[in-house]
Amino acid sequence: YGTAQLKGKSTWQRAEALIDIAHPDFRDELIREADVMKIWLRSSKKGA
């Protein structure tokens, strides 16, 4: 939890940053919704 620097980031980078700071109970749902919107893929995840 905390803050995320979003300025200057791509759409999927912003989604990733917000997912990273979200409460763990909501992360899977946020990932699913971002995937449905075609803005975040598991392959986009850091270290993937």
- What's the pLDDT at 43? 63
Within a domain: residue 5?
no
Domain that holds residue 23: 11-44
Q: Which amino acid is at 19?
A: I
Q: What is the pLDDT of residues 1-48, one digit of tens each?
A: 789 999 999 998 999 999 999 999 999 999 999 989 988 766 666 554
Give CA separation, 19 vs 16, 32, in Å.
5, 11
Within a domain: residue 37?
yes
Within a domain: residue 1?
no
The predicted model scores a pTM of 0.74
Within a domain: residue 24?
yes
Within a domain: residue 3?
no
Give CA–CA dist 25/48, Å, rounded: 22
Give CA–CA dist 4/18, Å, rounded: 7
